[in-house]
Amino acid sequence: MQKSLYFSVILDSRSITPNRQACACLASSVGFQGVTREGQTLDWQNEITQAAERIAPHIVTTPTVRSKSLNLPYAVELKFEQMQHTGSFKARGAFNTLLSEDVPEAGLVAASGGNHGAAVAYAAHQLGHPARIYVPEAAGPSKINLIRQTGADLKVVPGLYAEALSAAQAWEAKTGAGQVHAYDAVATIAGQGTLAREWEVQGLEADTLLIAVGGGGLVAGALAWFGKCKKIVAVEPQTSCALHSALDHGAPVDVEVSGIAANALGAKRIGQMCFDLSIKHNVTSVLVSDEEIKQAQEKLWSAHRAYVEPAGATALAALLSGAYVPQEGEKLAVLVCGANVASDPFASPVQPEA
């Protein structure tokens, strides 16, 4: 198993398999989303299972805990995915993409608010591929420094994620580099879906999972794996709510992006695959304020000494604030993800590019 930049957990997800009875209802939902590959309806469950086997030597199996320390009248299952390589779930999709697709001689290119870029840079370095990563200035010093540590060719551009994506697409067209999309690609979603599969393997009991949403790759992976076996609650900041707006309009639309979680959850438009999965499975969408996200960050620190970025606490904010109110007896789980806080207390100042 590769050594994380920050953490190492000695578990091997290849040696365990999900409870098939627990997700027997998936059989009726396989292939529902209308995505096709070479004329065949895509079997998401198979894609995710293959991805899990493919990436197992390269990722961390992140820990879970049943928490009674959140000042809520019920216990909550937490999964600490911020302990993944480079501090977020993005390593799953990055490794799956690089291991399942041919990498051009020109190498790789990715656009990112920070976490995806760090994951692609890390995966490329581990697998011996050159990578150019475009990030917006809003990514912040912690994520920019993290990408630089991998040795990737880092380009910081003015603006937000949309501007970084435009620059990455221009480089792809110019050089033939392989684009690793942050969220709206089959390999990316299947990779992120391994998190849901892994959580099931670890004994997930919840009826309902709360997951923060930016461009939608992670929540799409959860929907693709669980189908209608679990209720999925998509949680977004009020000022960065691409999925919520798409559901309101009946189709993906461009949104304005701002707020404390914008460098991780600030996609201007939700991915089409995520939107299709969300419609099919009647995803529940809720919004939280920046202040509520800050309070959730503080609670994760005080209760579990989990120091996470705003995006990492966004899903929990929905419970603490009452944006999502569970039914009596409803079992709940929250994904905690995103360790790259804007002010890394141990980092050196970001050096300007030459």
Residue of 184, 341, 342, 211 whose CA lies nearest to 267: 184
Q: Judge if 204 and 173 occupy the same domain.
A: no
How many domains are contained in the chain? Answer: 2
Alpha-carbon distance of 331 to 313, in angstroms, equals: 19
- Taking CA atoms, 167 is separated from 133, 212, 235, in Å, by 10, 26, 29
pLDDT in tens, 188-243: 999 999 999 999 999 999 999 999 999 999 999 999 999 989 999 999 999 999 99
What average pLDDT score do residues 60-86 get?
Answer: 97
Q: What is the pLDDT of residue 20?
A: 43
Q: Judge if 266 and 317 occupy the same domain.
A: yes
Tokens 């600030």 -> residue: 266
**Percent of the chain's residues with pLDDT above 70:** 85
Domain residues for the domain of 50 are 38-88+185-336
Domain boundary among 139, 164, 179: 179
pLDDT in tens, 325-352: 999 999 999 999 988 887 666 655 555 5
Alpha-carbon distance of 27 to 227, in angstroms, equals: 9
Rg (CA), the chain: 19
Cβ–Cβ < 8 Å for 85, 5: yes
Domain boundary among 179, 196, 213: 179
Q: Judge if 167 and 296 occupy the same domain.
A: no
Q: What is the pLDDT of residue 22?
A: 47
pLDDT in tens, 264-283: 898 889 999 999 999 999 99
- Taking CA atoms, 185 is separated from 42, 96, 236, 325, in Å, by 12, 11, 21, 32
Q: Is residue 351 part of a domain?
A: no
Q: What is the pLDDT of residue 130?
A: 94
β partners of residue 333: 77, 209
Q: Is residue 28 part of a domain?
A: no
Cβ–Cβ < 8 Å for 190, 52: no
Cβ–Cβ < 8 Å for 240, 265: yes
Residue of 74, 75, 44, 57 whose CA lies nearest to 3: 57
- Write down the pTM of the prediction: 0.86
Q: What is the pLDDT of residue 83?
A: 96
Q: Judge if 68 and 211 occupy the same domain.
A: yes
Alpha-carbon distance of 241 to 251, in angstroms, equals: 13
Q: Judge if 193 and 68 occupy the same domain.
A: yes
For the cut 50, the answer to whether the pLDDT of residue 5 exceeds it is no
Q: What is the pLDDT of residue 32?
A: 37
User: Which CATH number does the domain housing residue 154 bear?
Assistant: 3.40.50.1100
Q: Judge if 234 and 295 occupy the same domain.
A: yes
Q: Judge if 51 and 174 occupy the same domain.
A: no
Q: Judge if 79 and 216 occupy the same domain.
A: yes
Q: Judge if 330 and 213 occupy the same domain.
A: yes
